[in-house]
Each structure stands twice: as structure tokens, then as C-alpha cells.
Amino acid sequence: EWQAIETGIGNTMYSGQVTLGTAPSYSLTDTTRGNHKTYNLNGGTSGTGTLFTNSTDTWGNGLPSNKETAGADAHYGAALTWDYYKNVHGRSGIRGDGVGAYSRVHYGNAYVNAFWSDSCFCMTYGDGTNNTKPLTSIDVAAHEMTHGVTSNTAGLVYSGESGGLNEATSDIMAAAVEFYANNANDKGDYLVGEKIDIRGNGTPLRYMDKPSKDGSSKDSWYSGIGSIDVHYSSGPANHFFYLLSEGSGAKTVNGVNYDSPTSDGLPVTGIGIDKARLIWFKALTTKFTSNTNYAGARTGTVAAATELYGAGSAEVTAVENAWAAINVGS
């Protein structure tokens, strides 16, 4: 079925004024990205609620009191994530079949979370504390959408070490999408949830350079890490990805200061996020399986880097050194 392509204007809360893929006349239906649609649950917790429609093609006003604002943020985050997977990894949509998922915003009342669901093939966002901090930033959208990608590829079981790797995959790809987007209001960083003020004190939810900065996540692997919450056992893999991308020690990227330690005390030289993201994605989609653990993630990423860059390459050495730096040896 033919549909006209429209380009709307979104006045988002976290990403400034952006263009949105919309359909006449008008709805938040992204006809160029698998017909991804964004719905307003309006406080509900089931079904789709109503598709966002409007008599003009301008959406939201940058404030959470305007119901369209969170819709604009979520629609934009889904578009960026779609473009990232398509243009960087050659993957068309979460299942790789060109079909868009959908987004639901304004879930429940003051709900402080967002989630992916395989059963609806959709992302859902709460409005945050006092309904004033919707969890619709670019990194949260990319994190949730990536749970769908993981579910449809490696299928990493959401508990134990594979659960930590599942969570880390979402944080890793969220960082990669943020860098890819290069939005002036939300530049790429190795922080998770730095825009949504989920802690109420302006600090991020998670840190990839030194995960323990959040007070709960682990910087390095240890036997028994599989029994902690998956959002904390993700720490070592997030740390691995930071080290592989940027290297150890102190560094400033896009105005954010990082200082990444290594558990073996040896320095790691980074290879840049553009290569690191390819290695992780190739491992996720061709090496990891549902029960992959940290040791298996090392084997899988070394194999992926070897296929991409060759045995004995600097990239393979960096992968090995970054795993050693979080206490995952050969």
C-alpha cells in the first residue's frame, strides 16, 4: 500500500527540534522506517492507546506537560535506532525483515521505567517521577529497541552471566546510537540515562568507563557475578566496550571526562567506537548463543575481530587486552 512520505517537526524534551517521519495528515507513522508508529497510552497500561494524530505536522513543545512531547522523543529515538542498525550494520529493523516495531508513551502514572516486550514487538515508556521526566531519551530508546535485536539474534537468556551480557548489549548499542545520532542537545557519551535524571540529582543511571561509579555495578568479572542483578552484572561488559573503544586512563570525549581503570593494571589502547561496535554486533549476531557467558563473549568477540580485521591485527590484540583488563583471561 502506497503512503506519502511526510517530514514533521518534533519539539522534543531531550533532543531539541528534530525532523520526524510522519504520514498524512498527520500521524506519527514513519513510512520510511517500517511504518514505525508511536501511540499515546494516556496513563493506561495495556493495549496500544491511540495513535498520535494532529492537524499540523508539528509535534510537542519541549515540555512534558504537552502529551506530544514524549511522543516526539520516542518517535525520534526509534528512527535514529532504525537508521543506525540499517546504515551501520545493514540490519533492516529489529528482526531484520524491514518491519517496524511500535512505541507507546505515557504508560501508567509516574512510572519510572521503560521496557521492550517481545509479545507486542514494542517499546513502552513511563513518564518518570511526578510525570515530568519521561524515559524517552535517545539512549533509553536505543537500549530498549536493542533488547528486541538481542532477542531475535543471540537470544541471551535474561539471567546469570548471559543476562548481564544481554543488558550490556543494550547499553553498548545505546552508546553507539547516541554517537551515530550526533544530536547537538545529546552528544554521544558512555553514560546511560544521563538525560532523564532518574536519580533526581542529575547523575546518570550507569557509567561505562567505570561501572562501579553507580554504587552497584561491577567493574570486572568475578566468579559469582552471575547471581547479581543483570543491570549490575552488565558492568564488566560495558567496561570492556569502553576500554576497547577509548582505551584506559583519563580521557575527555564530547566534553565528558572519563577515567577507566584496568583490573590487571596494564594499559589498553582503544580502537575507536566505530570498530568496537562492529565487533560487538558481529559477535552478537554470529557467535553468541542464548547461554553465552563472559568467557564465551571473549571467545566470540576475538573470533569476530579476527574475521573483520585479521589474525594478529591490532584490533584483535585490543579485544584480548580489554577482556584481560576486566579479568576475563584466555
State the pairing for strand pair 191-192/122-126. Answer: unpaired
- Measured from the CB atom, the residue of 198 and 268 that comes closer to ligand ASN is 198
Cell of 172: 553498548
Q: How far is the CB of 102 from ligand ASN (least distance, A)?
A: 17
Give the count of residues interacting with Zn ion (CB under 5 A): 1
| Residue (of 33, 39, 14) closest to 135 by Cα position | 14
Count of alpha carbons within 13 Å of 106, Cβ hemisphere only? 21
**Nearest residue relative to ligand ASN (C-beta):** 115
| Residues 6 or more apart in contact with residue 200 via CB below 8 angstroms | 129
Q: Which of 13, 28, 101, 114 binds ligand ASN (CB under 6 A)?
A: 114
The one catalytic residue in 6, 144, 178, 320 is 144
> Mask of contacts with ligand ASN, 150-169, x by CB under 6 A?
-----------------x--
202, 130 in Cβ contact below 8 A? no
Q: How far is the CB of 231 from ligand ASN (least distance, A)?
A: 6
Considering the rule CB under 5 A, would residue 151 count as an interface residue with Zn ion? no
Strands (E), the chain: 6-11, 17-22, 29-30, 36-40, 50-51, 58-59, 102-107, 114-117, 122-126, 191-192, 206-207, 249-253, 256-260
Active site residue 231: yes
The Cα–Cα gap between 173 and 204 comes to 17
Considering the rule CB under 6 A, would residue 113 count as an interface residue with ligand ASN? yes
Binding part of the chain for ligand ASN, among 10-18, 75-83, 112-120, 274-282 by CB under 6 A, reads 112-120
104 Cα distance to chain centroid: 17
Footprint of Zn ion on 167-186 (CB under 5 A): 170
- Measured from the CB atom, the residue of 145 and 326 that comes closer to ligand ASN is 145
Considering the rule CB under 6 A, would residue 115 count as an interface residue with ligand ASN? yes
Contact of residue 6 among Zn ion, ligand ASN, none (CB under 5-8 Å per partner type): none
Q: Under the rule (CB under 5 A), what is the footprint of Zn ion?
A: 170
Residues in contact with ligand ASN by CB under 6 A are: 113-115, 143-144, 147, 167
Question: Active-site positions?
Answer: 144, 231
